[in-house]
Amino acid sequence: MLKSKTFLKKTRAGGVLKIVREHYLRDDIGCGAVGCTACGGAHEGPALEPQPQDPASSLCPQPHYLLPDTNVLLHQIDVLEDPAIRNVIVLQTVLQEVRNRSAPVYKRIRDVTNNQEKHFYTFTNEHHRETYVEQEQGENANDRNDRAIRVAAKWYNEHLKKMSTDNQLQVIFITNDRKNKEKAVEEGIPAFTCEEYVKSLTANPELIDRLACLSEEGNEIESGKIIFSEHLPLSKLQQGIKSGTYLQGTFRASRENYLEATVWIHGDNEENKEIILQGLKHLNRAIHEDIVAVELLPKSQWVAPSSVVLHDEGQNEDDVEKEEEREQMLKTAVSEKMLKPTGRVVGIIKRNWRPYCGMLSKSDIKESRRHLFTPADKRIPRIRIETRQASTLEGRRIIVAIDGWPRNSRYPNGHFVKNLGDVGEKETETEVLLLEHDVPHQPFSQAVLSFLPKMPWSITEKDMKNREDLRHLCICSVDPPGCTDIDDALHCRELENGNLEVGVHIADVSHFIRPGNALDQESARRGTTVYLCEKRIDMVPELLSSNLCSLKCDVDRLAFSCIWEMNHSAEILKTKFTKSVINSKASLTYAEAQLRIDSANMRDNITTSLRGLNKLAKILKKKRIEKGALTLSSPEVRFHMDSETHDPIDLQTKELRETNSMVEEFMLLANISVAKKIYEEFSEHALLRKHPAPPPSNYEILVKAARSRNLEIKTDTAKSLAESLDRAESPTFPYLNTLLRILATRCMMQAVYFCSGMDNDFHHYGLASPIYTHFTSPIRRYADVIVHRLLAVAIGADCTYPELTDKHKLADICKNLNYRHKMAQYAQRASVAFHTQLFFKSKGIVSEEAYILFVRKNAIVVLIPKYGLEGTVFFEEKDKPNPRLIYDDEIPSLKIEDTVFHVFDKVKVKIMLDSSNLQHQKIRMSLVEPQIPGISIPPDDISNMNLNGPQKKKMKFEK
């Protein structure tokens, strides 16, 4: 049966276009119930059980299927995902609405539908002759869809009666829309709200915790005092943004101060790029990463970023007066140039909430069901949830979702989603840090694995097409110990004409990952391999990462080679790119390669090759530094693990050898050579990497710190910065130069991927290179896979595809890659932080020398060189008299009683693990030297240390 609509449309040219829309209706769409004689098994895929064995409902004791409406699917997906809920009919109408309104929920519902054990059935009601409804005159789309859902529910109940005479099966309509429910009951459809139904499942009381609380009025503290101003409706916000009254931007909460945030304004408005918000009422219920509309306050109300560290640790849920007192702490007399544009949130344009990991702060009120949840991420406010299993969840990591934030509530409302496990357990904490940093870590799906080559694999004649055979060359790889995903290998040999041939050979991952298939899509989504202290989350399945793509020694492997002819002064005379087959002659560690180079009696081919490479690398590095490349420093640590328990037993900073630098120089050279080649061929859609120069204000902290030691740091160009860092030596203080380089690293901007056709600034500041890309690590970075594809097309070794030459698609890929790389970096730091805690848990309390990196109003941030560990020493503690503190931002310095602390001062600190707050176990540091009465801890007195300090330690892991 065919329904068709015809309408006329006027074209731009003034012509008239007749449009006919045809809608096919069918009789052969099955109801999804197995054994239904009326349908004759017309359905395919996951189906409903003929006799649902679901938990008994006190509202509906007989067997039944559930049919939820759109809002139930959107808001109560956590309930529907629970194993207790099965046999659910998902209508096409509902699915289409969900798809339009929330991509993440749509993906989750598709996953549930594909799970055979859940018995969710998608019913194509819009193409079924008896359930299709047309929109009536005067009826809006929403009402039409509500009616379509009720028609389908009614049809189901009548249809199921035909299955057998004694059939008790019912379809229950689940809706939270009061009017829709009333109409359904009038039409004889059994209908309940989601809450009514879930509460009727007496055998599954824990399901109630997963209910999203949606009625904002009903969930209030009884006092009902209005705390926040109302959010303006979207229409008013859009008008205000258009007229310039309001500014739109991304809300970024502060980790160090819960009463402060910044909003990064969208667009090219250079004047007010960043707006500060201070105080609860000005933050007005915005949550980290929300897109908000802000109103700029008059200049007389502008403030300076606060140097106070404040964490929300109050036990009293709604003590707003106390908050106002704390807000006053932020307001201190500052010079006018320190003031920044200040504003307040007037409305929310888009909520960017996600499920949050954290812990339950159990209410002190006995038998209370209302508790506060404290997220692991300090930028997220605490969330009020209702749960009946508080005693079970205490001391465990859980996931909670936010439902809403009413005006008269100090905290947002939410609901319990999942229990992850005991706090402090390695598996639980690793899961938390992967979830919190949005690292995709589920096992690869069957669809993805199906695109892997079949084993046993070998190189065929077809693979050799457009490939050079380089198996005769003396190629070797140099990597960290234990590395199984070997991306790169090198060779160097003397040519007959006296010049040198140098080759960088990179795993040919793009040979195995073909554009657009499930394997390619999953690799693109992951973007990067994430290296944790004891675990690697691969970007590509292990068969590729540790086997077929890994350039292991003594096996034939496919590679992409970049080969230069150089003279002995490391000047490039010729460059050649080719797909190749190689056979690595040795897989060495940096230490093994160094031993070969230094050994007087080793003269074999591999050692000769390494010596040639090392000699050239030194020349290349010298040239780079002369051009202004920066040599920065970052304290990187390595754990030594116990072979049985896998707990860290030693912690030390990583040792860098000449061979590290040797490999790095040739990787940089290959990346630059490839960048030039792909930009030459594809000026509009080359995937490149840039490192923007930092704004001068970024360097203030470095310049002031150096000045306090009578040293001058010039920052007008990268070259002048590099030269002044080289000159900044102190014979009496050799570690000062390293500290300055660590501080300089903190001033840098993030390097980012971009598409050449969407940008005109290509410069890489840190490497002092006019153009740069990533080519050398395709096993662990998706950017390199794209670059390999571009280079292959450029040299005629592979064919192109539409997305590769679409600069907008490429820009989207870059956006995801930049996000994934940033998150991977944060996850790595979090992993180092957790393993550092495990180390100090077993080590107990230690005293070590430290250097001050930053001074704050009420604290100093120190670095302990021995462990590469950074932490904060607080001088204000709860329940202790506050010392006399004088903070000077200009020098910068902090005077405590009669002792003055400057950046880079040497101090002695006591390090211990503070487990008083299970949620944020942290390394606690206390001052031992210099001695300040009432502040310092005598070296031998540790028994009375207060373990309830508020600060978490931070860890820098990577440049």
CB count within 10 Å of CB 148 equals 21
**By C-alpha distance, which of 613, 627, 350 is closest to 505?**
613
Looking at the predicted structure, is the pLDDT value of residue 947 above 70?
no
Cα distances (Å, whole numbers) of residue 400 to 195, 298, 414: 18, 38, 7
Looking at the predicted structure, is the pLDDT value of residue 314 above 60?
no
pLDDT at 659: 85
**Cα separation, 294 vs 232, whole angstroms:** 11
Pairing of strands 899-902, 530-531: unpaired
Looking at the predicted structure, is the pLDDT value of residue 693 above 70?
yes
Rg over CA atoms, the chain: 32
pLDDT at 302: 85
**By C-alpha distance, which of 447, 449, 442, 392 is closest to 421?**
392
pLDDT at 942: 47
Ranges of H-type helices in 855-949:
none
pLDDT tier, 329 (very low <50, low <70, confident <90, very high otherwise): low
Looking at the predicted structure, is the pLDDT value of residue 366 above 70?
no
Q: For 607-630, b where at least 16 C-beta lie within 10 A, e where not — what string?
A: bbbbbbbbbbbeebbeebbeebbb
pLDDT at 902: 85
Q: Phi/psi of residue 615, each to 5°?
A: -65, -45
**Cα separation, 577 vs 580, whole angstroms:** 9
How would you class 833 by CB atoms within 10 Å of its CB: exposed for 0-12, middle for 13-18, buried for 19 or more? buried
- More confident site: 580 or 892: 580
pLDDT at 389: 81
**The token pair that represents 901 in the structure block:** 């602390």
Element of type H or E holding 20: strand 16-24
pLDDT at 551: 94
**By C-alpha distance, which of 703, 702, 706, 708 is closest to 891?**
708
Q: What is the dihedral of CA 903, 906, 910, 911, to 10 degrees?
A: 60
Strands (E), 387-537: 396-404, 413-422, 467-469, 476-479, 488-494, 500-507, 530-531, 536-537
List % helix, strand, coil for the chain (3-state, nearest 5). Answer: 30, 25, 45
pLDDT tier, 811 (very low <50, low <70, confident <90, very high otherwise): very high
- More confident site: 784 or 392: 784
pLDDT at 324: 61
Per-residue pLDDT tens over the stretch 46-104 = 678 877 776 678 888 888 899 999 999 988 998 898 888 888 999 999 999 998 888 88
pLDDT at 503: 95
**By C-alpha distance, which of 318, 276, 281 is closest to 297?**
276
**Cα separation, 628 vs 622, whole angstroms:** 10
**Cα separation, 768 vs 771, whole angstroms:** 9
Q: How much is the average pLDDT of 347-357?
A: 90
DSSP string, 359-391: EEE--SSTT--EEEEEESSTTSPPEEEE-S-HH
Looking at the predicted structure, is the pLDDT value of residue 919 above 50?
yes
Domains of the chain: 43-210 (3.40.50.1010), 234-312+336-437 (2.40.50.690), 446-691+752-826 (no CATH), 696-747 (no CATH), 844-929 (2.40.50.140)
**The token pair that represents 554 in the structure block:** 């003594």
CB count within 10 Å of CB 705 equals 25
Looking at the predicted structure, is the pLDDT value of residue 360 above 90?
no
Q: Which of 461-470, 751-760, 854-863 has the lowest mean pLDDT?
A: 854-863
- More confident site: 653 or 255: 255
Q: How much is the average pLDDT of 473-479?
A: 94
Going 428 to 429 to 432 to 438, the CA torsion angle's sign is: negative
Per-residue pLDDT tens over the stretch 418-440 = 889 888 888 888 988 898 898 99
Q: Which amino acid is at 793?
A: V
Task: For residue 615, give the 3-state DSSP assignment.
Answer: helix
CB proximity list for 462: less than 8 A, separation 6 or greater: none
pLDDT at 219: 41
Q: Which residues, in sequence order, are bridge partners of residue 415?
A: 401
Looking at the predicted structure, is the pLDDT value of residue 174 above 60?
yes
Cα distances (Å, whole numbers) of residue 64 to 151, 173, 572: 18, 10, 76
DSSP, res 210: G
Q: Which residues, in sequence order, are bridge partners of residue 852?
A: 862
* Beta carbons of 831 and 894 less than 8 angstroms apart: no
pLDDT at 211: 85
pLDDT at 647: 63
Contacts 24+ apart (CB under 8 A), 732-738: 733/709, 733/904, 735/851, 735/865, 736/709, 736/904, 738/633, 738/865
Angle at CA 295, nearest 5°, toward 289 and 297?
A: 120
Instruction: Calculate the average pLDDT of the chain.
Output: 84
**The token pair that represents 490 in the structure block:** 């090198």
**By C-alpha distance, which of 375, 360, 398, 221 is closest to 288?**
375
Cis before 456? omega within 30: yes
Element of type H or E holding 908: strand 906-914
Looking at the predicted structure, is the pLDDT value of residue 617 above 90?
yes
Per-residue pLDDT tens over the stretch 549-583 = 999 999 999 999 999 999 999 999 999 999 999 99
Q: Which of 1-5, 49-53, 214-218 has the lowest mean pLDDT?
A: 214-218
Helix axes 103-114, 92-101, angle to 10 degrees: 140
pLDDT at 680: 94
DSSP, res 584: B
Q: Which of 361-365, 572-576, 662-666 has the lowest mean pLDDT?
A: 361-365
pLDDT at 480: 87
Per-residue pLDDT tens over the stretch 436-459 = 898 999 888 888 999 999 989 999
pLDDT at 51: 78
DSSP, res 883: P
CB count within 10 Å of CB 635 equals 20
Looking at the predicted structure, is the pLDDT value of residue 944 above 60?
no
**Cα separation, 689 vs 641, whole angstroms:** 35
Cis before 892? omega within 30: yes
* Beta carbons of 292 and 283 less than 8 angstroms apart: no
- More confident site: 914 or 347: 347
Separation of CA 279 from chain center: 27
Q: Phi/psi of residue 399, each to 5°?
A: -110, 135
pLDDT at 27: 81
Looking at the predicted structure, is the pLDDT value of residue 959 above 50?
no
**The token pair that represents 656 in the structure block:** 């860098």
pLDDT at 579: 95
Looking at the predicted structure, is the pLDDT value of residue 946 above 50?
no
**The token pair that represents 160 in the structure block:** 């199921």
**By C-alpha distance, which of 590, 652, 642, 592 is closest to 865?**
652
Q: Which of 197-201, 408-412, 824-828, 891-895 has the lowest mean pLDDT?
A: 891-895
Looking at the predicted structure, is the pLDDT value of residue 655 above 80?
no
pLDDT tier, 873 (very low <50, low <70, confident <90, very high otherwise): confident
Q: How much is the average pLDDT of 732-752?
A: 85
pLDDT at 941: 54
Cα distances (Å, whole numbers) of residue 386 to 109, 222, 375, 415: 25, 15, 16, 7
pLDDT tier, 878 (very low <50, low <70, confident <90, very high otherwise): low
**The token pair that represents 214 in the structure block:** 């949606």
Q: How much is the average pLDDT of 112-131?
A: 87
Q: Which residues, in sequence order, are bridge partners of residue 689?
A: 753
End-to-end CA distance of the chain: 65
Per-residue pLDDT tens over the stretch 5-36 = 676 777 777 788 877 777 888 888 888 887 77
Looking at the predicted structure, is the pLDDT value of residue 951 above 50?
no
Pairing of strands 637-641, 648-653: antiparallel
* Beta carbons of 581 and 464 less than 8 angstroms apart: yes
Share of the chain above pLDDT 90, in %: 33
Residue 749: CA count within 13 A, CB half-sphere: 19
pLDDT at 466: 84
pLDDT at 931: 75
Looking at the predicted structure, is the pLDDT value of residue 237 above 60?
yes
Looking at the predicted structure, is the pLDDT value of residue 955 above 50?
no
